[in-house]
Structure 1
Amino acid sequence: MAILARPVPSSVSAPSRASRRPRRAVGRLGVGLSFTGPGTLIVVGLSIFPAIWAFFLSREKWNGFTPATDIGWLNYQRMASDPDLAAAVDHTLLFTALFVPASILLGLLLAVALNRPIRFVGFYRTCIFVPFVASAVATGILGNYVFNPQFGVANNILRVLGLPAQGLLESQQQAMIVIAVMALWQQLGFTVVVYLAALQDMPADLVEAARVDGASAPRIFRHIVLPQLAPVTVFTTIWQTITALQLFDLVFVTTKGGPLGSTETVVYYLWDQAFRGLRFGYGSAVAYGLFAVTMLITIGMVVYSRRAKVEAF
């Protein structure tokens, strides 16, 4: 005679299962923290803590050796009447005006060209993006060889064409333009990739419907493609503006602020004040002033995009 096993009531096993769930959750949380905890501590230690310390340092006078002296807001008041800082701001604004519109326009045009089914398109996309992966130091070293007034490739090409040689990196009028060209060569790949991703994500039905209705290619690009790319344009504009305001590496490697201070940007100026002039308090104040301006520009662009119903964020 077979003995049938009676099923265990669900009321008996339910508490044991419920008690195991919190333990499993705690165990998974512990495993996750063991992986993310060290990295998080490093990020906090190398970014947030120095930022807070720099703010307190901006209210002090300290050369790194003698005890710091609390001077309140005098460093910020000095910024308003510093002619060298005003010149650095002008140079930074000039670079931003040269770099940002060119990167947006050329990035859009190259993305549209690379979005077509042409031969070796993968190779062309890789060539555009490779300079963005390279460091700014490598770009600056390469730029020194290309734009050197004596033995640079650029002046050699001008001599072959029968044109007069230019001062380039040693000219007060041309140095910032040359640096903008180098920065554009390095950063253009980022803009192209962002626009190319947006173009490939765009619904093809809109373009096909416009073609069926008889719309020409310029009209399709103006009335369909550009409005669809408006959020991407806002994002890339903010990103490239922040990149332009933080220009330092190319200047340091190529001109070191020269000739005669014509390429000294805000970040290079604060580095010079802090690490060469040993005025760490004033350098920290300049850094926080740049941070405030960058934050205001970003907030203004975001507010404008939302009011214009361009949801970029």
Structure 2
Amino acid sequence: MSTTAPPLSRAGAAARGRRPDRRKPADNVAGWSFAGPATLVILGFSLIPMAWALALSFTDSDLMSPGRNVGLDNYRALVQDPVFHQALRNTGLLVLLYIPASLAAGLLVAVLLNRKVRGIGFYRTCFLVPYIASATSAGLLMGYIFDRDFGLMNGLFVKLGLPVQGLLSSPSQAMFVLTLIFFWTRFGFSVVIYLAAIQEISKEVLEAAAIDGASRWATFRHIIVPSVRRMTVFLAVWGLIDALQFFDLVMTTTKGGPASSTVTIVYYVWQLAFNFFTAGYGAAVAYVLFVGTLLLIVAGLLFARWKGAMR
């Protein structure tokens, strides 16, 4: 038997040994025709404004004039800014309350909606409607419901014999009420994502667990929760970004009050730029938020990978 390699094999080996030919730019016209518009949008609406805002953060610009270079003065001023500290506390409270609640409630509701019962499509839609509804309309509606003097919530308290609450007018209650409203408008997204993940779980696995006599709690803990852990990481990161960018409900309900008790970081950036015309200082706050968000996301992803949730 001959051991000589056939011509095609020798040609293939030779081809693998050579460096691939460089394609001409004309060969990539089709690819760039699809990627080009998206690239221009990203550059035009993301990267370029980010670079401009970074340069702005080193000036005392008021958006009307270029302003003068002040170096790191804007960033140093943040250390002594009580409103900025209050905004950090309010935003941190929102993150700590919203993310665990949205994950737990989203998974629980998704499990309940993963059943074949009459009208299940209607029930699923009911949980999604608050998420797709306009944030402005939701804020105006909730501002009326939680109004101290004429709101439906205090009217209910009076009928139940309970004292009237300050709600959105109380410095100690307003942020908690806003967190509740934010949860109601956003956790429908968690329900949809979790429901899709649960429906991807093999029916054979669930049937085998039922045959083995596993209880609903055991099935939930040992099958459903591990199966959706990657979606949990995604929703946690998504919820973190969503909460750190919390603005619209504050704008339509409390406008940061009372006594700055509901000022969030993004709302404070808006105030600095468009109410107080200190755009340079506002850009510095925005960049602190950007860097902080990036660090939190990276830390969260590393922790999830360390715990094996990304496998």
Superposed displacement of residue 36, structure 1? 5.9
Partners of 2:183 and 2:192 lie apart in 1 by: 14
In the alignment, is residue 94 of structure 1 matched against residue 84 of structure 2? no
Are the counterparts in 1 of residues 206 and 219 from structure 2 also a CA contact under 8 Å?
A: yes
Which residue matches 1:84? 83
Aligned positions of 1:157-236 closer than 5 A: 157-236=156-235
What is the CA deviation profile of residues 153-207 of structure 1, one whole-angstrom value per residue up to 9, with x for unaligned ones? 1112222222222111101111111111111111011000000000001112222
Query: Identical aligned pairs, as a percentage?
Result: 44
- Which piece of structure 1 moves more, 70-79 or 303-312? 303-312
- Match of 1:57? 56
SS of the residue aligned with 2:149?
coil
Letter matched to residue 309 of structure 1: G
Shift of 1:281: 0.9
Measured on the aligned residues, the alpha-carbon RMSD in Å equals 2.0
Which amino acid in the other structure matches residue 64 of structure 1? L
One-letter amino acid of the structure 1 residue matched with residue 171 of structure 2? Q
Alignment correspondent of 1:113 = 112
Q: Secondary structure at the match of 1:300?
A: helix
* TM-score where L is the length of structure 1: 0.87
Q: Which amino acid in 2 is paired with 1:251?
A: V
Aligned residues: 289
1:273 is displaced (CA, Å) by 1.2
Is 2:262 the counterpart of 1:258? no
- The amino acid of 1:177's aligned partner reads F
Kindly indicate whether residue 252 of structure 2 is the aligned counterpart of residue 245 of structure 1. no
Letter in 2 for 1:152: G
Q: Distance in 1 between the 2:278 and 2:95 partners? A: 27
Residue identity matched to 1:209: A
CA 27–228 in structure 1, closer or farther in 2 if over 3 Å, else same: closer
Q: Which residue of 2 aligns with 1:281?
A: 280
1:270 aligns to 2:265 (yes or no): no
1:226 to partner: Cα distance = 0.9
Question: Does residue 148 of structure 2 align to residue 144 of structure 1?
Answer: no
Q: Determine helix, strand or coil for the equivalent of 2:125.
A: helix
The answer (yes or no) to whether the contact 2:113–2:195 under 8 Å persists in 1 is: yes
Letter in 1 for 2:188: G
Matched, 1:41 2:40: yes
Once residues 49 and 219 of structure 1 are traced to their aligned partners in structure 2, the CA distance between those partners, rounded to angstroms, is 51
Secondary structure (helix, strand or coil) at the match of 2:209 reads helix
Once the two structures are TM-superposed, the CA of residue 135 in structure 1 deviates from its matched residue by 2.1
> d(CA) in 1 for partners of 2:80 and 2:225?
43
Return the alpha-carbon distance in structure 2 between the equivalents of residues 140 and 67 of structure 1.
Answer: 36
Whole-Å separation in 2 of the counterparts to 1:67 and 1:289: 22
- Greater mean deviation of Cα atoms: 190-199 or 87-96: 87-96
Report the Cα distance in structure 1 between the residues aligned to 2:227 and 2:169, rounded to whole angstroms: 43
CA distance, structure 1, for counterparts of residue 116 and residue 26 of structure 2: 51
- Equivalence for 2:290: 291
Secondary structure, aligned partner of 2:172: coil
1:288 and 1:198 map into 2 onto residues whose CA distance is 35
Equivalent residue letter for 1:78: A
Report the Cα distance in structure 2 between the residues aligned to 1:36 and 1:137, rounded to whole angstroms. 34
Is the alpha carbon distance of 1:288 and 1:26 closer, same or farther for their aligned partners in structure 2, counting shifts above 3 Å? closer
* Mapped contact 2:83–2:260 kept (Cα < 8 A): no
The CA distance in 1 between the partners of 2:36 and 2:237, in whole Å, is 31
Q: Distance in 2 between matches of 1:39 and 1:296?
A: 26
Distance 1:65 1:28, change over 3 A: closer
In structure 1, how many angstroms separate the alpha carbons of the residues matched to 2:294 and 2:25? 43
- Distance of 2:205 and 2:304 partners within structure 1: 23
Q: 1:296 to 1:146 in 2, by over 3 A?
A: same
**2:269 partner amino acid:** L
Deviation at 1:41?
A: 2.7
